[in-house]
């Protein structure tokens, strides 16, 4: 069944690279105007330039989502640039792992902030526009479906050793998803979540002596996965491999499309059949 997202505006967080960039690309390719956000200005510029060069309408707003006032700024910027907010993909996130006895309060709280507080604040910021627009449409006898896709993980559904904070944040967003599906159903909003397994991004790259680091809150955080763990995951995965960012984006695209107009409050696992 063909579909188009022409006339729709999508907001994608964490769109500077990896899965977020792939999601923004899929939505733009289907015709949506896209507002992209990331903390990394250079990566975000690359996303926007690539999509604009392909003829798509894309705007960007760099900024730190965990700053309490920024989600409001992001929604206001989206409305100013496009005039609507029809699709929200809460994708931004990172991992900061350790076993519980070595996990600080700051570390645990950081995971809750980015994975749970940020989606909450973005949806709260968008609520005024969404409710008012829906009321006008319903009064006019129109059904206009809007979409929210929150990103969770098999660490949130199954738990994962060494990820108390990350798993808790990703589990919490499932509760937020199911609650917002109940609150916003009357406004014709589908609210769903996609839970990823291991996807080929920099967070899942082999951990070596030259591994990458990200700097968050003044801390340098090593990113990557031990090669032995990657090998065991591939062996245990029914599909025998990690997923690609484009495959991850495909699962999100389903929830952003008219194909999911009667699906809400659900969690779709995109993990190749693997579970921790």
Residues recognised as catalytic? 166
Contacts of 30 (CB under 8 A, 6+ apart): 3, 4, 5, 253, 257
CA–CA distance, 83 with 81 (Å, rounded to integer): 6
Say if CB 233 and CB 241 are below 8 A apart.
no
| Cα–Cα nearest to 100, from 165, 153, 35 | 165
Q: What is the rounded end-to-end Cα distance, in angstroms, of the chain?
A: 34
Quick check: helix, strand or coil at residue 241? coil
Burial class (CB in 10 A: 0-12, 13-18, 19+), 271: buried
């Amino acid at each position: 069944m063909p579909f188009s997202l022409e006339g729709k505006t999508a907001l994608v967080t964490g769109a500077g690279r990896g899965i977020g960039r792939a999601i923004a690309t899929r939505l733009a390719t289907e015709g949506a105007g896209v507002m992209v956000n990331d903390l990394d200005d250079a990566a975000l510029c690359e996303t926007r330039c690539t999509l604009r060069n392909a003829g798509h309408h894309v705007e960007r707003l760099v900024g730190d989502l965990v700053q309490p006032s920024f989600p409001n700024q992001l929604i206001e910027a989206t409305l100013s640039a496009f005039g609507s907010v029809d699709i929200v993909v809460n994708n931004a996130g990172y991992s900061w792992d350790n076993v519980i006895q070595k996990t600080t309060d700051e570390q645990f709280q950081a995971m809750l902030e980015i994975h749970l507080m940020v989606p909450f604040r973005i949806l709260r910021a968008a609520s005024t526009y969404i409710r008012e627009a829906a009321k006008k449409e319903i009064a006019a006898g129109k059904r206009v479906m809007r979409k929210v896709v929150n990103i969770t993980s098999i660490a949130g559904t199954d738990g994962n050793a060494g990820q108390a904070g990350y798993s808790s944040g990703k589990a919490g967003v499932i509760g937020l998803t199911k609650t917002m599906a109940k609150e916003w159903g009357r406004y014709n909003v589908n609210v769903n979540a996609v839970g990823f397994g291991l996807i080929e991004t920099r967070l899942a790259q082999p951990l070596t002596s030259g591994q990458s680091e990200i700097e968050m809150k003044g801390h340098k955080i090593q990113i990557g996965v031990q090669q032995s763990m990657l090998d065991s995951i591939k062996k245990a995965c029914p599909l025998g491999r990690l997923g690609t960012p484009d495959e991850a984006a495909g699962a999100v695209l389903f929830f952003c499309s008219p194909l999911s107009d009667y699906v809400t409050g659900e969690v779709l696992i995109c993990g190749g059949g693997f579970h921790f």
